[in-house]
């Protein structure tokens, strides 16, 4: 019986990214942070908006300074330019709204006609009216069934006959005197005072952050990064780069959206397309809600303008096409790694920050969450934030592939293999994904959590994936002439000439899958490769295998500690084959010490030993070249 190391009996472990400390302490910290964010929103919202704007304007301020302007002139010039752009935008929108209000009377007739048509459709004679009447009848029957039945004896009526009739209450109406003009002016000024004060605070903060950018960074490093200045600097640079790039890309996308909306509505015939383009580009900065608001206003105007329904339908179709194109093509292409957020994280962040800070939180949700992901990437204690919110894969491909197989989801496992094959070679797929998966399955077999039927099923599924990936790779990259067998007529195993290698699965179906991968890599290099399953070893002498024409034998093991079993198999092969071809032993290695597998050849009696598929191919090339004194297939090609 083989002596198996304890490392091969350990369960497959994934690195933990849970929050530090106990769950109770973590919960209390999260509650305290959320409470502080909610209670301090009066201060934190202007501060967050200021930091966001400073991130967006910092690249332009740096470029102005590189052009020769000083620190203060570059910041002041940039702020003035932004102020001019905002004022120009506001004046254009105001003028277009005034023009729309002046022409509103021209569209009143069409709007009333549409309302009348909808009213007729919902009347008792229309289809909607019939549905409404049916619903009212059902509701009336439900109310009648819920009422208590009347008293048949009439005792209740007689008892109440002598009662005194209650006095009806006298209705009281409260009339508010009309407000004076001075009161209306005070209410209007009071409503504008708070937004104007917040805007002023934001402008002051932005100017201060841009002027003191380097000094603030130094102070932050001194406070929080004195133990690891390199990591702190990387985190700050990464956060600034991601947020600024996200804002610039979003600005470009929203400008494209505004231009497309204005031009499209102009072609359709909706009046004031400049207004709708400007509003569409501005409102789209607000996630989810902004595009809906940008589509409602011009659609209502289209309903009022057109006597029919063609223009409103075309307007709705324009907005739908633009949203589908931007959400599914433009944003994934341009954003790519600018945010590093998963789609679910963006949605959850929008709900969370909107609940805390209202519409401003919805506007800031993505940039603030980007900063959290950057913290999780560079601060080990906060790694769980990147795992929860980030877009990077959290499991290696081989672990994902094995997990899909354990869940009996063969289609998802095949998709993992296809995604890996899109950026890597078939040899990398075998070496880095499928072979480690076989090792994971063998470890679980040794632990007793996989029975024979299940590990045979896993091996069978992996063999199917191997065949599918080989066919896919061959369809996309047809083999060159040098990759074919050395001589015509050799067939799959190269029986009529050329190097022939016998690939043996040592003792179970998992080893058979490993030998199948090795056989494909050998055939891709021009070798002839014959496959024998593990059950053939017991009947090797009876199948007529005398070793004639076999240049080498490869014995494949998934388990790296199977040296004693390998010694018995190799002894049986040498006794059964009079020609005594050289034998290469392949032991799959994950965490086996180097000195352990290097001594395996002497322990097992093999001529060469390897711990990988590519290494086994190299060993076979070298051993065949030395034994036959012939060039390797690659050299011959």
Over the stretch 381-402, which tens digit does the pLDDT of each residue have?
Answer: 777 777 777 777 777 888 888 8
Report the pLDDT value the prediction gives residue 636, as an integer from 0 to 100.
45
Note the pLDDT tens digit of each residue in 283-293: 888 877 888 88
Confidence of residue 491 (pLDDT cuts 50, 70, 90): very low
What's the pLDDT at 4? 45
3-state helix, strand, coil in the chain (%, to 5): 70, 5, 25
Q: Cα–chain-centroid distance for residue 595?
A: 41
Tell me the backbone φ, ψ of residue 148, rounded to 5 degrees. Answer: -70, 150
3-class secondary structure, 33: helix
Cα angle: 383, vertex 415, 410; to 5 degrees: 105
DSSP of 443-494: HHHHHTSS-HHHHHHHHHHHHHHHHHHHHHHHHHSPPPGGGS-SSTT-TTTT
Delimit the domains of the chain by residue range: 44-119+194-217, 397-476, 483-636
- For residue 293, which of 196, 339, 359 has the smallest C-alpha distance? 359
Instruction: Give the range among 426-435, 461-470, 555-564, 613-622 with minimum mean pLDDT.
Output: 555-564
Across 56-65, 220-229, 520-529, least confident range: 220-229
Lowest-confidence segment of 245-254, 502-511, 559-568 by average pLDDT: 559-568
Nearest of 520, 510, 492, 526 to residue 425 by alpha carbon: 520
More confident residue, 537 or 556: 556
Higher pLDDT, 540 or 375: 375
Name the residue with higher pLDDT: 600 or 241: 241
pLDDT by residue (tens digit) across 568-625?
A: 888 888 877 777 788 888 877 654 444 555 555 556 677 788 888 888 888 888 888 7
pLDDT confidence of residue 483? 41
Query: What is the rounded CA–CA span in Å between residue 498 and residue 486?
Result: 6
Q: What is the pLDDT of residues 252-269, one digit of tens each?
A: 888 999 899 989 889 888
The residue ranking higher by pLDDT, 284 or 545, is: 284
Q: How far apart are CA 366 and CA 55, in angstroms?
A: 14
Q: How far apart are CA 35 and CA 29, in angstroms?
A: 10
Determine the CATH number of domain 397-476.
1.10.1240
The CATH architecture to which 483-636 belongs is 3-Layer(aba) Sandwich (3.40)
Compare 225 and 41 and report the one with higher pLDDT. 41
pLDDT at 543: 40
pLDDT of residue 137: 66
| Per-residue confidence (pLDDT) for residue 542, from 0 to 100 | 40
CA angle at 459 for the pair 458 and 461, rounded to the nearest 5°: 65
Query: How high is the pLDDT of residue 13?
Result: 64
Q: What integer pLDDT is reported at residue 182 of this predicted model?
A: 62
User: 544 pLDDT exceeds 70?
Assistant: no
379 against 609, higher pLDDT: 609
Residue pair 243/370 in contact (Cβ under 8 Å)? The answer is yes
- HSE on the CB side for 34, CA within 13 Å? 11
Residue 60 CA, chain-centre distance (Å), reads 31
Query: Is the per-residue pLDDT at 447 higher than 50?
Result: yes
- Return the pLDDT at 228: 67
Q: Residue 584 in 3-state DSSP?
A: strand
pLDDT tens-digit map of 150-168: 555 555 554 444 555 555 6
Banded model confidence at residue 66, pLDDT cuts 50, 70, 90: confident
**Arithmetic mean of pLDDT over the chain:** 75
3-class DSSP state for residue 412? helix
499 pLDDT higher than 70: yes
Please tell me whether the overall predicted TM-score, pTM, comes out greater than 0.85 for this model. no
Q: Does pLDDT of 272 surpass 80?
A: yes
Q: Is the pLDDT of residue 539 over 80?
A: no
- 545: confidence class by pLDDT, cuts 50, 70, 90: low
- Report pLDDT for 600: 55
Q: Which residues contact 187 (CB under 8 A, 6 or more apart)?
A: 179
Report pLDDT for 409.
Answer: 82
More confident call, 311 vs 576 = 311
Is the Cβ–Cβ distance between 368 and 349 less than 8 Å?
yes
CA distance 34 to 29: 9
Burial 325-362 (b: 16+ CB within 10 A, else e): ebeeebeeebbeebbbbbeebbebbbebbbebbeebbb
Closest listed residue to residue 373, CA positions, set 397, 414, 338, 417: 338
**pLDDT mean over 91-108:** 75
Q: What are the beta bridge partners of residue 502? A: 530, 553
Give the tens place of pLDDT for each residue, 123-142: 555 555 566 666 666 667 66
pLDDT at 22: 72
The reported pLDDT for the residue numbered 245 is 80
Could you give phi then psi for residue 220, rounded to 5 degrees?
-65, -40
């Amino acid at each position: 019986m083989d002596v198996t190391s304890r490392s091969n009996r350990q369960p497959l472990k994934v690195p933990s990214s849970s929050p530090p400390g106990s769950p109770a302490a973590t919960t209390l910290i999260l509650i305290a942070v959320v409470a502080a964010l909610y209670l301090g929103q009066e201060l934190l919202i202007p501060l967050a908006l200021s930091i966001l704007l400073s991130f967006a304007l910092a690249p332009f301020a740096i470029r102005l300074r590189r052009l020769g302007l000083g620190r203060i002139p570059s910041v002041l010039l940039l702020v003035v330019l932004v102020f001019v752009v905002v004022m120009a935008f506001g004046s254009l929108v105001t003028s277009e709204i005034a023009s729309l209000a002046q022409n509103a009377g021209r569209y009143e007739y069409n709007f009333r006609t549409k309302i009348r048509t909808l009213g007729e459709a919902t009347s008792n004679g229309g289809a909607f009216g019939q549905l409404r009447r049916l619903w009212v009848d059902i509701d009336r029957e439900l109310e009648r069934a819920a009422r208590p039945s009347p008293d048949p004896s009439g005792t209740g009526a007689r008892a109440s006959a002598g009662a005194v009739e209650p006095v009806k209450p006298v209705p009281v109406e409260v009339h508010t005197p009309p407000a004076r003009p001075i009161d209306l002016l005070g209410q209007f000024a009071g409503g504008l005072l708070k937004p104007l004060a917040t805007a002023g605070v934001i402008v002051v903060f932005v100017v201060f952050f841009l002027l003191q950018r380097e000094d603030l960074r130094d102070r932050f490093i001194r406070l929080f990064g004195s133990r690891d200045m390199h990591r702190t600097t990387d985190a700050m640079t990464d956060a600034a780069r991601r947020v600024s790039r996200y804002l610039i890309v979003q600005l470009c996308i929203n400008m494209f959206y505004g231009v497309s909306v204005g031009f499209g509505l102009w072609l359709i015939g909706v009046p004031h397309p400049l207004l709708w383009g400007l509003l569409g580009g501005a409102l789209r900065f607000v996630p989810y809600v902004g595009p809906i608001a940008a589509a409602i206003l011009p659609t209502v105007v289209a309903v009022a303008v057109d006597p029919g329904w063609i223009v409103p339908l075309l307007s709705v179709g324009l907005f739908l096409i633009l949203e589908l194109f931007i959400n599914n093509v433009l944003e994934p292409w341009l954003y790519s790694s600018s945010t590093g957020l998963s789609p679910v994280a963006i949605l959850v962040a929008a709900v969370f920050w909107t609940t805390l800070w209202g519409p401003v939180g919805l506007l800031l949700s993505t940039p603030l969450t980007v900063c959290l992901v950057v913290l999780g990437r560079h601060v080990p204690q906060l790694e769980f934030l990147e795992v929860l919110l980030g877009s990077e894969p959290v499991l290696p491909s081989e672990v994902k592939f094995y997990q899909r197989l354990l869940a009996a989801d063969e289609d998802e496992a095949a998709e993992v293999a296809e995604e890996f094959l899109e950026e890597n070679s078939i040899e990398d797929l075998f070496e880095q994904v499928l072979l480690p998966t076989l090792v994971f399955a063998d470890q679980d077999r040794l632990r007793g959590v996989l029975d024979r039927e299940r590990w045979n099923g896993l091996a069978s599924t992996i063999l199917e994936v191997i065949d599918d990936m080989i066919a896919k790779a061959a369809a996309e990259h047809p083999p060159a002439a040098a990759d074919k067998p050395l001589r015509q007529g050799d067939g799959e195993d190269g029986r009529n000439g050329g190097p022939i290698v016998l690939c043996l699965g040592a003792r179970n179906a998992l080893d058979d899958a490993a030998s199948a991968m090795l056989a494909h890599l050998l055939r891709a290099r021009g070798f002839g490769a014959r496959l024998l399953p593990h059950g053939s070893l017991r009947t090797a002498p009876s199948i007529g295998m005398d070793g004639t024409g076999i240049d080498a034998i490869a014995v494949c093991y998934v388990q790296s500690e199977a040296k004693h079993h390998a010694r018995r198999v190799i002894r049986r092969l040498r006794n059964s084959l009079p020609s005594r071809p050289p034998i290469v032993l392949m032991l799959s290695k994950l965490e086996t010490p180097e000195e352990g597998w290097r001594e395996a050849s002497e322990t097992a009696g093999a001529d060469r030993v390897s711990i990988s598929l590519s290494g086994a191919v190299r060993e076979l090339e070298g051993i065949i070249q030395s034994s036959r004194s012939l060039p390797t297939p690659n050299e011959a090609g």
